[in-house]
Chains A and B, each alone.
Chain A
Amino acid sequence: MKKKSVENIISLSNNLRWQIGDDFHDHLAEGIYADASEIVNNAVQTDNQKKQFRLDSKIDKIVTSKIWGFPIMFLILGLILWITIIGANYPSSILANLFLENIHPALKSFASNIGMPWWLDGFLIDGVYMAVAWVIAVMLPPMAIFFPLFTLLEDFGYLPRVAFNLDYLFKKSGAHGKQALTMSMGFGCNAAGVVATRIIDSPRERLIAIITNNFSLCNGRWPTQILIATIFIGAVVPSSLSGLASVSAVIGIAILGIFFMFFSSWALSKTVLKGEVSTFNLELPPYRPPRFWKTVYTSLIDRTLIVLWRAIIFAAPAGAAIWLISNINIGDQSIAAWIINSLDGFGFLLGLNGVILLAYIVAIPANEIVIPTILMLTVLVTGIAGGDGAGVMFELDSANETANILKAGGWTLLTAVNVMLFSLLHNPCSTTIYTIYKETKSVKWTLLASILPLIMGFIVTFLVAQIWRIII
């Protein structure tokens, strides 16, 4: 009896479904809007809001105009990057001075006073402490400048207009205009760029933005690029042009990164990601005066400190690993030397060397410590004078001294070019990888995002090296 009535209800509902057709969702939404607008008409009086809107549309006319739209955009983004790179130098050198020149020796002498064994003192102070101190000194200032500036622009309402202006270019590669913003954010920090993709509500385009964010040259890689370009690229041209040449080389690498971003966005949207849902719409909210202090505060807490904290967590074990591989000997060589020797062949094929590859392996936690690690390892394996001892990362004040060490390590112009390329095209740092996992909750996409740029890096440096050797 009961079962029969249930069946009746089901067949009735099936019948009704056939009758109402598939438009009823639309009718429902229309009905809700009709009701809502009736309520609004009865309850809300609009009067002086019109004036506000006029100013908005005037700003909009300028920032999205054919003539001024793009120049204004490049000017603002260029200015922010410039302020960040130049402005971060001073606090960075102060921090480096404090952590590395003052606190580090103080810790060392304290350790020897209380009679700490050499291995514990080396492991903790030369390894863990150094890596953490380095990451804070190099990472904190640019992020503390870049993120608040960027967040202010966001709060003002300008960033959606950038997405609006650039959407057509991104559409061509299957991506969302808002990827322009997450990409720019990536110039500050890839991990923050990945978090910023939350603004993209279309699943496919969001994954594209996450996976390709690593092609934005982040703050941790700019100094590497600038240093190598100054030493090697600047030296090929007459000294009057060397500044210009090295700056254009660095900018060229950043633009190459944008090119790779577009290319892999296109390739991803045509292959592995084509099944993900894709929707597009972009709200252009009204402008409003940024709430300055609140913005600065939240961007420091939300973005800078969280990213910094993750970086520190990953840098500490890396520092320990770097110290250990340089100080533990197997047979007559340290572990580092063994690995470097075994990687040398592959490194040579890519126009790099074993030292550079090992540095990129142990420095996965933070791109900031790649150069110090390369210097330390080069001194370790070549046995030339310099540095502070096995497993102690260091950097030199003058580019000349750095150049001498690198050249003693067998670096040529090809090595320099390929290090610049490889610095752009390699796996994201572990902070970013962890963030990608947090955001996508998928091992598959995390793996793809980590390995794809690495494979590209291998292919590009390999091709450059072979062609270079054939031609020159």
Chain B
Amino acid sequence: MNSYSPTYALLIFFILSILIFLLFRPKRGWYWVIKNNLKINEKTVTEDVLKYLYHNEISGNEVNIISLTAVLKFSDRLVVDVVKKMTIKELIKFDGNVLSLTEAGRDYALRIVRVHRLWEKYLAEKTGYDKVEWHDRAELMEHRLSHKETDLLATQLGNPLYDPHGDPIPTNQGEIANLKGAALSSLAVNSVGRITHIEDKPDIIYKQIYAENIHIGSQIRVIENNQKRVVFYAEGEDFVLAPIVAANITVDILEKDVIEEENKSRLSSLKINELANIAGISKEIRGESRRRLLDLGFVKGSPIKIDLKSPLGNPKAYLIKGTSIALRNDQASKILIKKI
């Protein structure tokens, strides 16, 4: 205890804490970075190249080696090396300097897309991870699952058709449904449609859409659309978006005869002493939560009203089927009602 001094002890403690923080902080901690870098191999790079080519083929953009190396987060040398090997294996081909997929390459790419979207579906249905994390986690997982495991996963999820963002999931035969609809930013004023897809890339835009509380499956009507902003009406509320954000939302224009009346609103907008009937549960409530709500009687047509408000305003208790059930406001915003 001769050399002990509380100041030194504190100093050593803080240096240690900072070290541990740098090593293990989420995502950018040195430990994770090193661990992830060790995992990068040719398979990962090959699959990422295929996926990038596939997505650009769908959207009709041309890809050359320069744009490829710019987008992928690997060293240029590694990418060029892998591309060389891929042409030999006939997964991709060069037309001049434009890169495109061969038949075999497209099959492989579809398989990766299938794993990615199935895994997102799995995360949405069976785990509690936040929406904004699904994409990154699926990016890691798509390189790991084998053919057999993927089919097993699909069976367990009940062979889903769409991933939670609304993208179609390829079948194990490599068939894929076409995504119907157009970008929200391209719609004319007063057109009515249903949101079928919300793009999860880039992160920044997805987070904005997420924060606006916009749901897949909502029926919308465009109110205003110009260079500065896109305004649309859905479920009793007006939503204002920048055109660049609106471009990431896909809307399927509805035929006249399937347009539902616009008197639906969200349960969160119900006021004390108002009566309403349940009109449905949004697609955004999934898995266990959705089943629980259905079990409790939140089904189309059930009458509902507010029973109690908690002292802090959230949650509220709703009287449904003769029972008082408390729901949080963010859940209530995903249940649709028709006010009486």
Give me the interface of A with B, judged by CB distance under 8 Å: 14, 17-18, 21-22, 25-26, 29-30, 33-34, 57, 60-61, 64-66, 69-70, 164-165, 167-169, 171, 177, 201, 203-204, 271, 274-285, 345, 348-349, 462-463, 465-467, 469-470
Q: How far is the CA of A284 from the CA of B326 in the complex (A)?
A: 7
Question: Smallest distance from the beta carbon of A289 to chain B beta carbons, Å?
Answer: 19
- What residues on A are CB-neighbors of B292 within 8 Å? 201, 279, 281
Can you identify 11 A-B contacts, CB atoms within 8 angstroms?
A14-B171, A22-B161, A25-B294, A168-B312, A201-B292, A275-B128, A283-B326, A285-B323, A285-B324, A345-B1, A467-B6
> What is the minimal beta-carbon distance from A239 to any residue of chain B, in angstroms?
32
**Residues B312 and A169 in contact, CB atoms below 8 Å apart:** yes
Interface residues of B in 101-138 (CB under 8 A from A): 126-130, 133
Question: How far does the alpha carbon of A469 sit from the alpha carbon of B7 in the complex, in Å?
Answer: 9
Closest-CB distance, B271 to chain A (whole angstroms): 17
Please name all residues of chain B whose beta carbon is closer than 8 Å to the beta carbon of A276 when the two chains form the complex.
127-128
Report B-chain residues with C-beta under 8 Å of the C-beta of A463: 10, 13
Q: Is B47 part of the contact surface with A, judged by Cβ < 8 Å? A: no
CB-CB under 8 A from B327, the residues of chain A are 280-281
Cβ contact within 8 Å between A279 and B311: no
Across the interface, do A204 and B324 meet the contact criterion of CB distance under 8 Å? no
Add 5 more A-B contacts to A168-B314, A463-B13 (CB < 8 A): A21-B161, A22-B161, A281-B325, A284-B325, A462-B9
Tell yes or no: B288 within 8 A of A by CB.
Answer: yes
A328 to B310, CA, bound (A): 61
B181 at the interface (CB under 8 A from A): no
Contacts of B299 in A (CB 8 A): 26, 29-30, 33
B289 beta carbon closer than 8 Å to chain A: yes
Q: How far is the CA of A348 from the CA of B160 in the complex (A)?
A: 61
* In-complex Cβ contact of A279 among B133, B289, B317 (8 A): B289
Question: Which residues of B128-180 are within 8 A (CB) of A?
Answer: 128-130, 133, 158-162, 171, 177
Binds A, one of B194-202, B204-212, B237-245, B300-308: B300-308
Number of inter-chain CB pairs below 8 Å: 139
Q: Are A470 and B7 in contact (CB under 8 A)?
A: yes
Contact A167/B315 with A30-B299, A284-B325, A284-B326 known, Cβ cut-off 8 Å: yes
Least distance between A94 CB and chain B CB atoms (Å): 42
In the assembled complex, the Cα of A324 lies from the Cα of B317 at a distance in Å of 58
Q: Does B309 contact A (CB under 8 A)?
A: yes
Interface pair B328/A167, CB less than 8 Å apart: yes
Is there an interface contact between A65 and B294, defined as CB atoms closer than 8 Å? no
Asked if B296 CB lies within 8 Å of chain A CBs, one says yes
Residues of B within 8 A of A (CB): 1, 4, 6-7, 9-10, 13, 26, 126-130, 133, 158-162, 171, 177, 280-281, 287-297, 299-302, 307-315, 317, 323-328, 331
**Contact of A164 with B308 at beta-carbon distance under 8 Å, contacts A30-B299, A281-B325 already known:** yes
- Determine whether the beta carbon of A164 is less than 8 Å from that of B310: yes
Query: A70 touching B315 by the CB < 8 A rule?
Result: no
Query: Which partner residue on chain A sits nearest B171 by CB separation?
Result: A14
Q: A466-B10, A469-B6 are in contact. Are A30 and B311 (CB under 8 A)?
A: no
CA A34 to CA B1, docked complex, whole Å: 78
Q: Which residues of A contact B288 (CB under 8 A)?
A: 277, 279
| With known contacts A281-B327, A284-B324, A30–B128 Cβ distance under 8 A | no
Q: How far is the CB of A273 from chain B (nearest CB, A)?
A: 8
Residues of B with C-beta under 8 A to A61:
308
Q: How far is the CA of A254 from the CA of B128 in the complex (A)?
A: 31
Q: Which residue of A lies closest to B126 (CB)?
A: A277
CA distance A18 to B302 in the complex (A): 29
Query: Does B129 lie within 8 Å of A275, measured CB to CB?
Result: yes
Whether B312 lies near A282 (C-beta < 8 A) is: no
Cα A275 to Cα B299 in complex, Å, equals 28
Q: How far is the CA of A294 from the CA of B136 in the complex (A)?
A: 54
> From A61, which residue of chain B is reached at the shortest CB distance?
B308
Taken together as a complex, chains A and B put the C-alpha atoms of A470 and B9 apart, in Å, by 11
A164-B326 Cα distance, complex, nearest whole Å = 7
List the B side residues contacting A281 at CB < 8 Å. Answer: 292-293, 296, 325-327, 331
Contact A282 B325 (CB under 8 A): yes
B178 to chain A minimum Cβ distance, whole angstroms, is: 13
Residue of B nearest to A471 (CB): B6
Assuming A33-B302, A165-B310, A165-B311, is B9 touching A466 (CB within 8 A)? yes
Residue of A33, A271, A284 near B308 (CB, 8 A) is A284
- The answer for the CA separation of A70 and B311 in the assembled complex, in Å, is 8
| B290 CB to nearest A CB, Å | 8
Report chain B residues within 8 Å CB of A169.
312
Q: Roughly how many angstroms separate A22 CA and B6 CA in the complex, as a whole number?
A: 64
Q: Which residues of A contact B129 (CB under 8 A)?
A: 274-275
A33, B298: Cα distance in complex, Å: 10
Checking A171, A204, A277 against B328 with a beta-carbon cut-off of 8 angstroms, the contacting residue is A171
Query: Nearest 6 pairs between A and B by C-beta?
Result: A29-B294, A282-B326, A284-B324, A469-B6, A168-B312, A69-B311
Contacts of B13 in A (CB 8 A): 462-463, 466
Task: Give the distance in Å from the alpha carbon of A310 to the alpha carbon of B283 in the complex.
Answer: 47
CB distance from A372 to the nearest CB of B (A): 29
Distance between Cα atoms of A425 and B86 in the complex (Å): 58
Give, as a whole number of angstroms, the nearest-CB distance from B247 to chain A: 26
CB-nearest residue of chain B to A205: B128
Using known A-B contacts A280-B328, A282-B315, A284-B317, determine if residue A167 contacts B310 with beta carbons closer than 8 Å: yes
| Residues of the B chain whose Cβ atoms lie less than 8 Å from the Cβ of A70 | 311
Q: Report the minimum CB–CB distance from A351 to chain B (whole Å).
A: 10
- Report yes or no: B159 in contact with A64, Cβ–Cβ below 8 A: no
A25 to B295 alpha-carbon distance, docked (Å): 11
